[in-house]
Amino acid sequence: MSGGSARSGSGAARGTRRTGLAGLAAAAVLAGACGGEPPPAPSGRSMADAAGPRAGNGAPVLESVRLEPSSPRAGQRVRVVPVASDPDGDGLTYAFTWRVAGTARPDSGPELVLEDGLDRGTRIEVVVVARDGQQAESAPMTASASIGNQPPELGAVVIDPPGDITRGHPVIARPRAVDADGDEITYTFSWRVNGEAVPVEGDALETAELHRGDTVQVRVVASDGQDESDPIESPPLRVANAAPKIVSQPGAFGADGAFRYEVRAEDPDGDRMLRFRLEQAPDGMTIDGLSGAIQWRPALGQTGNHPVVVVVDDRQGGTGSQQFELRVSEGAPANAVAPAAASGAPPAAADPDARAGDEDEGREAGDGESTEAAAAPPPTGRRGRPLPAPAAPTTLGEDEQAE
């Protein structure tokens, strides 16, 4: 009987399931006939979604959370990188809560832009929670970092002197940098000549050994002792022609009243084809263009001060000059013969005015009474021939006088 009851019960259950299925089929047919949509098939997952987390749903698990960069700086963008998994393979979303120096920030995304001016060591925190879409959440996980050292900012490097380099004058690099943390800044200089590194570590490069046409470059890096700035490299700087320089000094007038001066000049580039000229000079002054020899004899009426400007030219675009002043006083001799020029010109003739003055003085002396006796004519013999001149007296020595 009991077994029969179990079978009857089982049969009743099967009858009930059939009746239920038949009812659903009838409902579907009826809905189709009325133009409606058939009811959805029963689904345990959708029903669980409507009621809350489904039975047996596993919560996601946060495995790690980190910040990038790990040592952010003021003004930088910080990004959180979570790593999580879900036992059911569900897609995950995240919630973020940021704090800077203990103060909550309204940012809720995976990135935070740090404002400028934050001090070194300021703490940054973010709390992350993972969700699986079934209202199941992971345990929160926190990542933190501190504002790190800010490297100096190298703004510019000024080259002194500006423009082309002149041989013999050092080139100096003057960098300009700032450090947000107020750290002391030091600089590293790397010099290159014609593209090759040279063993110079300071901010100055001597140019005495360089030549016209060489190129110079410098690379500068600023450091605060912990971090370095981005480097700045100057464009190639060209060594230009160096101007010659007059190294001699003029002297005084000579005893004959003439001025003579051998101008000497030196050229830093070693140029030998130097040329000389007078840019300003009194009338009558000359200069030899090759040797630099100056000569001048003041004429009558050229008393006073006379400025002189001598120019030397290296024929490469460089010139040097020297200025001085000559003073001619009253009564300075002006009738001496001028020396020959360095180019081989013949000596100048004596001053004709001076010769005329001498002749006038002679005539005046002849017209007046002479203070000197006229010379007597030489004695003559019987036939009018001049007698021989008497022998000049001699002075005897002590021995001859004794004899």
Per-residue pLDDT of the chain (403 residues; tens, 9 = 90+): 334 433 334 343 344 334 343 443 333 333 333 344 444 444 334 344 444 555 688 999 999 999 999 989 888 999 999 999 999 999 999 999 999 999 999 877 999 999 888 899 999 999 999 999 888 999 999 999 999 998 999 999 999 988 888 888 899 999 999 998 899 999 999 999 999 999 998 999 999 889 899 999 999 999 999 999 999 999 999 999 989 999 999 999 999 999 999 999 999 888 889 999 999 999 999 999 999 999 999 999 999 999 999 999 999 989 999 999 999 988 654 433 333 333 333 333 334 344 334 444 433 333 433 323 333 344 444 444 444 443 333 333 333 333 3
Q: Which DSSP helix (H) or strand (E) runs through 12?
A: helix 2-34
HEC readout, 87-150: CCCCCCEEEEEEEECCEEECCCCCEEECCCCCCCCCEEEEEEEEECCCCCECCCEEEEEECCCC
Q: Which DSSP helix (H) or strand (E) runs through 362?
A: helix 352-367
Per DSSP bridges, beta strands 141-146 and 237-240 are unpaired
Contact by Cβ (8 Å): 184, 225: yes
Hey, CA dihedral for 103, 106, 110, 111, is it positive or negative?
negative
Fold for domain 245-349? Immunoglobulin-like (2.60.40)
Contact by Cβ (8 Å): 184, 224: yes
Contact by Cβ (8 Å): 278, 326: no
Domain 61-146 has CATH 2.60.40.10: yes
* Domain segments of the chain as ranges: 61-146, 153-240, 245-349
What is the CB neighbour count within 10 angstroms for residue 100?
19
CATH number of 153-240: 2.60.40.10
Amino acid present at 303: T
pTM of the model: 0.51
- Note whether 61-146 and 245-349 share their fold: yes
Residue that has been written with the tokens 């047919």 in this structure? 29
Residue 166 makes CB contacts below 8 A (sequence gap 6+) with: 207, 239, 240, 242, 243, 268
